[in-house]
Amino acid sequence: MKTSTREFADVTRDETSLRRFLHGLPGVDAVGVEQRSAGLGTRSIKKASKMHAIDLAISMVDLTTLEGADTPGKVRSLCAKARRPDPDRPEVPKVAAVCVYPDMVETAVAEVSGTGVGVASVATAFPSGRSSLRIKIADTEFAVEAGATEIDMVIDRGAFLSGQYGRVFDEIRTIKAACGNARLKVILETGELATYDNVRRASWLALLAGGDFIKTSTGKVSPAATLPVTHVMLQAVHDWHAATGEPRGVKPAGGIRTTKDAIRYLVAVNEVAGPRWLDPRLFRFGASSLLNDLLMQRRTQLEGHYSGPDYVTVD
């Protein structure tokens, strides 16, 4: 297998090379990518293929709570939901991970360790990323030491938008090193990057720096994840894989609330990145309310009628 470091060593040698590479990536035509994502959005997924998609989507959820009001009680309840999304139906798959603030990692780890549900923690002065590198590293180490298996970092959008690609690259590298065995998701906050060209450049930057996942949003900025943005990012991991042989993941987060939305994303995963990415190791949904809609739709598929929100548990 070719390795990314060898393949792209000259690209990341210095700031100038990095800039030249990122600006040499093919542009993204906004009309075209939006047309394509709207077109794929009309795929009609029914019956067995819908059931399969629902279970797959459940297994890809990073069940998230990122509020100032989070308490250990809230996190424990979220973890219970993550382990067993539908108490009436033990065959429903577990979600991929719970996603919490660093100070809640310990509580979450105690609840889910050994169950196969991961614990993801946001870090690096989430959501704005406006702090010193020292504090960002400490933030990451705090989460990792508490047992987080995944770290969701934010990039410094200010540095990216002012063209300091090397600085963003180094920061991701440093945080990756601080992660140890934890997998790193790099949040691009695409709502602040504004253009698809920027999304493509930031995606490649994060992949070059060693991010295991590229993630759209913090959920704190509008717009959060959109289908066309996710298309651009899926294309990036596809191209990365074609160039290096390394599979990397994508995580849209924020604003995905319904089964219908989730299926549209899965169609994009299937047809833009490829069937290989239909895997919780390579695709995640950062969401909270999505899970209950998936569960309700799952029941509807099995029971032939819709039973409503009173029949699924709140977390």
Partner 1 sequence: MTWEYAPAPESRDIANLKANYRMFLDGEFVEGAGEPLKTVNPATEEVLAEVSTASPADVDRAVKAAKRAQDRVWGRMPGAERAKYIFRVARMIAERARELAVLESLDNGKPIKESRDTDVPTAAAHFFYHAGWADKLDHAGFGPDPRPVGVAGQVIPWNFPLLMAAWKIAPALACGNTVVLKPAETTPLTALVLAEIIQQAELPPGVVNILPGAGDIGAELVNHPGVNKVAFTGSTEVGKIIQRSLAGTGKKLTLELGGKAANIVFDDAPIDQAVEGIVNGIFFNQGHVCCAGSRLLVQESVAEEVLDKLRKRVATLRIGDPLDKNTDVGAINSREQLAKIQELVASGEDEGAVRWTSPCPVPDKGFFFAPTVFANVSQAMRIAREEIFGPVLSVLTFRTPDEAVAKANNTPYGLSAGVWTEKGSRILLMADRLRAGVVWANTFNRFDPTAPFGGYQESGFGREGGRAGLEAYLDV
Task: Supply the residues annotated as catalytic.
Answer: 152, 215, 251
Instruction: Considering only residues 223 through 282, tell me which ones interact with partner 1, judged by CB under 8 A.
Output: 235, 266, 270-271, 275-276, 278-279
* CB nearer to partner 1: pick between 77 and 301: 301
Q: How far is the CB of 27 from partner 1 (least distance, A)?
A: 4
Q: How are strands ordered across the β-sheet holding 61-64?
A: 249-251, 213-215, 183-187, 150-154, 118-123, 97-100, 61-64, 285-287
Nearest to 291 by CA among 263, 242, 257: 257
Q: Which is nearer to partner 1, 111 or 197 (CB)?
A: 197
Cβ of residue 53: shortest distance to partner 1, in angstroms?
Answer: 7
Residues 6+ apart with CB under 8 A from 148: 102, 105, 109, 119, 120, 121, 182
146 is an interface residue for partner 1 by CB under 8 A: no
The closest of 297, 209, 223 to 253, measured between CA atoms, is: 223
- Tokens for 30? 């906004």
CB of 81 to partner 1, least distance (A): 25
Among 18, 53, 122, 237, binds partner 1 (CB under 8 A): 53
Decide: is 190 part of the binding site for partner 1 (CB under 8 A): no
| Contacts with 303 (C-beta within 8 Å, 6 or more apart), sequence order | none
Provide the minimum distance between the beta carbon of 31 and partner 1 in the complex, in angstroms, as a whole number. Answer: 6
Residues in the chain: 315
CA 127 → CA 114, 161, 236, distances in Å? 29, 16, 24
What mask of x and - would describe binding to partner 1 in positions 31 to 50, judged by CB under 8 A? xxx-xx-----xxxxxxxxx
- Return the amino acid letter for 252: P
| Nearer to partner 1 among residue 139 and residue 197 (C-beta) | 197
Our finding on whether 141 is near partner 1 (CB under 8 A) is no
Which chain residues interact with partner 1 by CB under 8 A?
26-29, 31-33, 35-36, 42-50, 52-53, 56, 235, 266, 270-271, 275-276, 278-279
